[in-house]
Structure 1
Amino acid sequence: MNTDHDDRANLEPCVVGVDYGTLSGRAVVVRVRDGAELGTAEHPYAHAMTGVELLTIDEHTSTDQFAKEIRWNAAYHRLAQAL
């Protein structure tokens, strides 16, 4: 960091959008004032997450709820393959 002067006066508000996809992580930086895209990046995952299911198990999860969630996920994937 250059300590000779303060560049913060020249900074404009920006937002960062992040997408954690199944094959890669992507990010975009956008200037708030006019929506201009200032930069993007993509990082492919070493091991793609395609076809991986993650279910949350916590102190509120019952065996019946867990089994129901697995059945619904399986039904969804069978229907999605037909589309």
Structure 2
Amino acid sequence: GRQAGERLIGFSAELGGKNAMIVTAGADLDRVAEVATRAFFSNSGQLCISVERVYVERSVAPQLIEKLTARVQSMSVGPGYDFDAEMGSLIS
């Protein structure tokens, strides 16, 4: 990247992502659980922008774990032939 910049050459690199979600004590945990579920499992989790790590402020971690576990357990999983399933076995 540095060498390309010195020469004013365009550069694009796939650097592995490992996109993180950060959850602080002031967050709406119900909303976080909903958004996180989509961020983790959209396209069966096979998007290069899928969230792969979650950093949670210690004071809200137990509540978020409870809400997120309930949300994931309620996901509808299916073959993906219609829009009723939230996650299927294959990416789109």
Tell me the TM-score normalized by structure 1.
0.32
Greater Rg over alpha carbons, structure: 1
Task: Give the alignment's TM-score, normalised by structure 2.
Answer: 0.30
**More strand per residue: 1 or 2?**
1
User: Where is the helix percentage greater, Structure 1 or Structure 2?
Assistant: 2
